[in-house]
């Protein structure tokens, strides 16, 4: 009988331990990881190969790099989004597991009896008990709710990060396309300066200029060359930032489409309308709302924890010195006379008020950024209008007048070349002003949290959403 009882106990213990998960090592191999990332970055920028193995390899023309393509690459391969997605997956894996019941407690041992009435045969008697705990006040439900809203918070954080990167990508893409235009304009100015040096040398030979004039032209050409190199470095920095944001090699950014930038509207929306859009679309406000929900769930859980759990369990023992077995059933509950989870409740209440204060501060900063961006876009648009309507026509008129003067012999070639360089500088300033307008629109979009202008080929469906997190996470948690 004893052998059978021991075997049953061992079988029960083995059955319980069989449900425990074992550790499996998964090494992180740095060289392999870096090599795989490099292959992924290069693979996305390689031209498509022919399906037929014997077909001759034909050089394929590079495809235009559009903004929708950049947004798609960022959504699939962006390193920052991958990090946010991994954090969300961790919280989701935790939320998918329902809060388990408290494990039962088994206690066994011997009872030793002594005294004149205890015989030697019954000095040692076994005893055992099995205890269960039943949580009260819906603690398991509250814990599941906290796990769910925590996963929702990280989901919103992932979507908010995507929204911020999406809006930042609009600035980067505009900077990349306008940077190419500015670089082309600087190269034309450099060519013009080189031609001016050549013309100046001919004028020296003809006696219409001095060596000092040529020296000044040489100095200006070198300075313009340095500015062109600075423009090349700036463009390389922009492409490097694009590569880091999208997770692809810079070889992908070769050919811009036509047109590349959205058409700017004639007027900005009213400030009150933009403020209403800000409430539901600003990423940081969405984050703080999700954190407030977590704080609420933590408070509800700590409120439930102030109520004690219910304990019960059977027990078995044999009286020492007698041939008598006793079965018992214990019922118990902790009396919350002193510890009613005051610390947890106070901390949760303070945490909720802290998040509320942070939401108010974030709203204050968002409204200030909106006011500043709304004013900046008006000033940038006014500056661009001034350059296009006054400076550019004036520079073109000066070129026409200089041509007539040089044909009539009223001016020299150096003055004409200087006028031509001035015109190109005005055109370059117009490009700078155009970028400032696009940058101001992006700043306004970032202040609102929503695109206000549309790139060619851009669809509204590609915009990361901030208001569907509850249904999405609940569907992923549901079995």
Report how far apart, in Å, the C-alpha atoms of 422 and of each of 183, 304, 391, 410, 449 are. Answer: 17, 76, 10, 19, 40
Per-domain boundaries in the chain: 76-101+138-310+356-477
pLDDT tens column, 216-273: 778 878 888 888 888 889 888 988 888 888 888 887 777 777 767 777 787 788 889 9
pLDDT tens column, 59-93: 455 577 888 888 888 888 888 989 989 988 988 88
Report how far apart, in Å, the C-alpha atoms of 361 and of each of 159, 183, 364, 367 are. Answer: 21, 41, 5, 10
pLDDT tens column, 435-457: 888 888 889 999 999 888 888 88
- Minimum mean pLDDT range among 124-138, 225-239, 417-431, 463-477: 463-477
pTM exceeds 0.75, yes or no: yes
Using CB atoms within 10 A of its CB, is residue 75 exposed (0-12), middle (13-18) or buried (19+)?
middle
- Closest of 17, 63, 23 to residue 252, by C-alpha: 63
CATH code of the domain made up of 76-101+138-310+356-477: 1.20.1600.10
């Amino acid at each position: 009988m004893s052998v059978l009882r021991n075997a049953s106990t061992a079988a029960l213990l083995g059955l319980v331990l069989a449900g425990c998960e074992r550790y499996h090592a998964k090494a992180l191999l740095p060289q392999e990881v870096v090599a795989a990332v490099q292959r992924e970055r290069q693979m996305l920028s390689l031209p498509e190969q022919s399906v037929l193995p014997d077909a001759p390899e034909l050089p394929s023309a590079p495809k235009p790099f559009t903004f929708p393509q950049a947004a798609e690459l960022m959504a699939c391969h962006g390193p920052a989004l991958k990090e946010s997605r991994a954090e969300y997956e961790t919280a989701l894996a935790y939320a998918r597991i329902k809060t388990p019941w408290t494990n039962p407690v088994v206690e066994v041992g011997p009872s030793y009896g002594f005294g004149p009435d205890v015989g030697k045969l019954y000095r040692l008697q076994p005893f055992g008990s099995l205890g269960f705990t039943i949580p009260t006040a819906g603690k398991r439900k509250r814990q599941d709710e906290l796990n769910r809203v925590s996963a929702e918070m990280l989901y919103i954080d992932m979507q908010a990060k995507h929204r911020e990167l999406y809006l930042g990508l609009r600035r980067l893409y505009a900077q990349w396309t306008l940077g190419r235009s500015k670089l082309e304009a600087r190269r034309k100015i450099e060519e013009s300066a080189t031609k001016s040096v050549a013309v100046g040398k001919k004028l020296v030979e003809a006696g219409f200029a001095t060596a000092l004039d040529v020296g000044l032209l040489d100095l200006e050409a070198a300075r313009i060359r340095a500015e062109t190199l600075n423009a090349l470095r700036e463009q390389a920095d922009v492409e490097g930032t694009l590569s880091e944001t999208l997770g692809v090699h810079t070889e992908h950014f070769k050919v811009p489409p036509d047109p590349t930038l959205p058409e700017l509207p004639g007027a900005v929306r009213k400030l009150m309308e933009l403020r209403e859009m800000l409430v539901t679309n600003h990423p940081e406000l969405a984050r703080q709302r999700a954190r407030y929900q977590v704080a609420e769930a933590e408070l509800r859980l700590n409120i439930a924890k102030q109520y004690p759990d219910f304990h019960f369990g059977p027990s078995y023992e044999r009286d020492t010195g007698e041939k008598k077995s006793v079965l018992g059933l214990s019922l118990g509950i902790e009396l919350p006379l002193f510890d009613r989870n005051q610390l947890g409740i106070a901390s949760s209440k303070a945490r909720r008020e802290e998040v509320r204060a942070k939401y108010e501060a974030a709203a204050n900063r968002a409204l200030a950024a909106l006011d500043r961006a709304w004013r900046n876009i008006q000033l940038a648009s006014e500056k661009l209008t001034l350059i296009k309507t006054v400076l550019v026509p004036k520079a073109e008129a000066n070129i026409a007048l200089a041509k007539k003067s040089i044909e009539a012999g009223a001016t020299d070639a150096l003055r004409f070349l200087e006028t031509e360089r001035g015109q190109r500088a005005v055109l370059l300033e117009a490009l700078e002003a155009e970028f400032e307008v696009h940058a101001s629109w992006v700043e306004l979009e970032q202040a609102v949290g929503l695109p206000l202008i549309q790139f060619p080929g851009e669809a509204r469906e590609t915009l990361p959403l901030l208001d569907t997190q509850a249904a999405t996470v609940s569907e992923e948690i549901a079995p």
